[in-house]
A and B are shown apart, each in its own frame.
Chain A
């Protein structure tokens, strides 16, 4: 377990993603409306890179022919077969009990804290003036 600095906040725009490697794992980092989320990059179906998937909303319906979009940008659609994963939990929308990707706690920390604290910033030259994304793993 450790807290890993994986990116500068301004490296990942809202609605975008970045593939980061932490402790030997490929992790897909997403910026959803300014909030950061991290899930394992590999789709449990056929292994596609989830960091290349689009962030989408949840399509819902109470009646054939009627549509409602909620939770804008909070699901990632796998780029290969369109399976949807909840960016907050890693759970597949269609089969939440059995199909999921691991999700990781993410936080944002100021460079000043990062330099002093127990963070592992092996690949970063941390500057105290900026904010960093920290993944716990």
Chain B
């Protein structure tokens, strides 16, 4: 049997790539204590708030993490440098701290833990390596506090986007969230939507699945619902300068959604007359996707066809999804990725997605 061998992509370490999805270790109570005030220190202690895991993403589950990265010595930034920043020759990396802060019901505890997490990110990570950037965690449960957190960090350009989850309390297009988008756009933040669920609803749109593999596959339903909501509710029209980055979304499901929504819009657009151009055009202008994992056909030669179906050269952002296992060695570029788009993919697209991202040339 003939085996399909991916053409070896250009050596990553020479490209100076911008990695748009890197995960720091999730902070625990002891990490956040220095950044909480005395009231919240008492509360997280007496209520035993420690491991802020999302049910949808138990961080210690072995299959999630790449063994060689996990086994490496050191911790925190030192480990990240050794495993990723240095060997991959990254120009910079955006840290996405995906934790249970998004799922907390108490809107004030959520605000306190978001603020502490951002302080911790700034002090323990961003201050320690100039290549690092981060997504701001904000309490989406409490838009007023989320806006205050955005205002507080607006001067720190190392925070480049505001983080949300693919499956939360309600669709992200709802006006409830608009004050967050208004503040984000005003300060040049993108909106990052990361895979994950708060389990307010079943992760499948037909109810709860039985197996972990189903949870993973259903993520794309969650992302699809958010894209449709952001278009239909008018978020993309209302905040045209805010890019929306789908992180760990996969890629190949989007063209079908764009075709379908553009077609349905022709007959139903009277209901949403603020959408004045085909949804696919809006999506191409404002939606971006990180490209690990990349749900492509087995034959690398077909990957370019998926990119052609996106019909936009600036939608895909390079990412490793460190420390999760999608590839071995440094084969982080999806096999078969067209050479002609490489410069955009590893750098230019990220720079035009994140107006706050300042990097040395």
CB contacts (< 8 Å) of A45 on chain B: these are: 266
Tell me whether A61 and B273 are in contact in the complex, defined as CB-CB below 8 angstroms, given that A94-B265, A94-B278 are known contacts. yes
When the two chains form the complex, which single residue of A59, A64, A81, A94 contacts B237, counting CB atoms closer than 8 Å?
A64
A84 touches B270 (CB 8 A): yes
Which residues from 117 to 134 on chain A have a C-beta closer than 8 Å to any C-beta of chain B? Answer: none
- The winner among B233, B265, B267 for most chain A CB atoms within 10 A is B267
**B interface: dominant SS:** helix
CB contacts (< 8 Å) of A62 on chain B: these are: 274
- Nearest CB of chain A from residue B283's CB, rounded to whole Å: 16
Query: Is residue B157 contacting chain A, with contact meaning CB distance below 8 A?
Result: no
CB contacts (< 8 Å) of A93 on chain B: these are: 269
Given the complex of chains A and B, what is the CA–CA distance between A84 and B234 in angstroms? 21
CB contacts (< 8 Å) of B274 on chain A: these are: 61-66
Which residues from 47 to 103 on chain B have a C-beta closer than 8 Å to any C-beta of chain A? Answer: none
CB contacts (< 8 Å) of A65 on chain B: these are: 175, 234, 274
Which residues from 51 to 100 on chain A have a C-beta closer than 8 Å to any C-beta of chain B? Answer: 56, 59-68, 77-78, 81-84, 92-95
CB contacts (< 8 Å) of A83 on chain B: these are: 266-267
- Nearest CB of chain A from residue B228's CB, rounded to whole Å: 15
CB contacts (< 8 Å) of B234 on chain A: these are: 63-65
When the two chains form the complex, which single residue of B175, B267, B273, B278 contacts A59, counting CB atoms closer than 8 Å?
B273
A94 touches B266 (CB 8 A): yes
When the two chains form the complex, which single residue of A61, A64, A81 contacts B266, counting CB atoms closer than 8 Å?
A81
B273 touches A82 (CB 8 A): no
CB contacts (< 8 Å) of B237 on chain A: these are: 64
Given the complex of chains A and B, what is the CA–CA distance between A68 and B274 in angstroms? 10
Tell me whether A82 and B265 are in contact in the complex, defined as CB-CB below 8 angstroms, given that A63-B238, A63-B274, A64-B237 are known contacts. no
Which chain B residue has the least Cβ–Cβ distance from A68? B273
Given the complex of chains A and B, what is the CA–CA distance between A65 and B274 in angstroms? 8
Instruction: Mark interface residues in B308-327 (1 if CB within 8 Å of A CB, else 0).
Output: 00000000000000000000
Query: Is residue B268 contacting chain A, with contact meaning CB distance below 8 A?
Result: yes
B267 touches A60 (CB 8 A): no
CB contacts (< 8 Å) of A78 on chain B: these are: 267
CB contacts (< 8 Å) of A81 on chain B: these are: 266-267
- Nearest CB of chain A from residue B282's CB, rounded to whole Å: 13
Given the complex of chains A and B, what is the CA–CA distance between A83 and B268 in angstroms? 8
CB contacts (< 8 Å) of B266 on chain A: these are: 45, 81-83, 92, 94-95
CB contacts (< 8 Å) of B265 on chain A: these are: 94
Given the complex of chains A and B, what is the CA–CA distance between A66 and B273 in angstroms? 9
- Nearest CB of chain B from residue A63's CB, rounded to whole Å: 6
- Nearest CB of chain A from residue B242's CB, rounded to whole Å: 14
Which chain A residue has the least Cβ–Cβ distance from B270? A59
Tell me whether A82 and B278 are in contact in the complex, defined as CB-CB below 8 angstroms, given that A59-B273, A61-B273, A64-B233 are known contacts. no
Given the complex of chains A and B, what is the CA–CA distance between A77 and B268 in angstroms? 10
Given the complex of chains A and B, what is the CA–CA distance between A78 and B266 in angstroms? 11
Which residues from 235 to 262 on chain B have a C-beta closer than 8 Å to any C-beta of chain A? Answer: 237-238
- Nearest CB of chain B from residue A88's CB, rounded to whole Å: 18
Given the complex of chains A and B, what is the CA–CA distance between A93 and B277 in angstroms? 10
CB contacts (< 8 Å) of B269 on chain A: these are: 93-94
CB contacts (< 8 Å) of B238 on chain A: these are: 63-64
CB contacts (< 8 Å) of A67 on chain B: these are: 273
Given the complex of chains A and B, what is the CA–CA distance between A81 and B268 in angstroms? 8
Given the complex of chains A and B, what is the CA–CA distance between A77 and B278 in angstroms? 18
CB contacts (< 8 Å) of A56 on chain B: these are: 270
Which chain A residue has the least Cβ–Cβ distance from B268? A82
Q: Can you list 23 A-B pairs with a CB-CB distance of less than 8 A? A: A45-B266, A56-B270, A59-B273, A61-B274, A62-B274, A63-B274, A64-B233, A64-B234, A64-B238, A64-B272, A65-B175, A65-B274, A77-B270, A81-B266, A81-B267, A82-B267, A82-B268, A83-B267, A84-B270, A93-B269, A94-B265, A94-B266, A94-B278
| Beyond known contacts A64-B238, A81-B267: 13 more, CB 8 A cutoff | A60-B273, A62-B274, A64-B272, A65-B274, A66-B274, A67-B273, A77-B270, A78-B267, A82-B266, A83-B266, A92-B266, A94-B278, A95-B266
| Chain A to chain B: the 8 pairs with minimum beta-carbon distance, closest first | A64-B234, A82-B267, A61-B273, A81-B267, A61-B274, A94-B266, A59-B273, A59-B270
